[in-house]
Amino acid sequence: MVFIASYTAQLTTTLTVEQILGSVEGPGDLPGKQVATLANSIAADYLREQKAQVQELSPEQMFKALLDKKVDAVVAPSPLLLYYGAHEGKRRVKIVGPVFNSKPVAIELQLDSPLRKKIDGALIALREDGTYQQIYDKWFSVP
């Protein structure tokens, strides 16, 4: 059983349930498989194009369906899957397969917003001093 993260606004990854050797190792294995994804998401359209058998669910329902072996994989935004894998799913899921369907994420502001320079500066400072990586590792890294 596998999580496959796919979302147009997020980096994507794949997670799998550790104690079970599933038949899904990445996006190429999705055709014909039972795959859960978020209801009304772009991922649902992608999965249908891949000829997967799609179940559109809430995040909680997706994880439960996977752990209950009702689906073979989960495709969702990678932050959701990485967070789950690092916390509630710790020691039950692991990352496998390639990153796919990666798109940049943006914060939308008005062009003349006084927050624009402050946000840009804060993001640069977080990257430069290592704080961004520390935060990312705390919330999204799966050992």
Summarised one tens digit per residue, pLDDT across range 60-85 is 999 999 888 899 888 888 888 888 88
Share of the chain above pLDDT 70, in %: 74
More confident call, 116 vs 142: 116
How far is residue 119's CA from residue 51's CA, in Å, rounded to a whole number?
41
What pLDDT is recorded for position 13? 43
Q: What is the mean pLDDT of the chain?
A: 79
Domains in the chain, ordered, with CATH?
2-95 (3.40.190.10), 106-143 (no CATH)
Place of tokens 């704080």: 131
The structure's pTM equals 0.69
- 74-122 pLDDT per residue, tens: 888 888 888 888 888 888 876 666 666 666 677 888 888 999 889 889 9
Cβ-Cβ contacts under 8 Å for 37 (sequence gap 6 or more): 6, 43, 44, 47, 54, 55, 56, 57, 62, 74, 75, 76
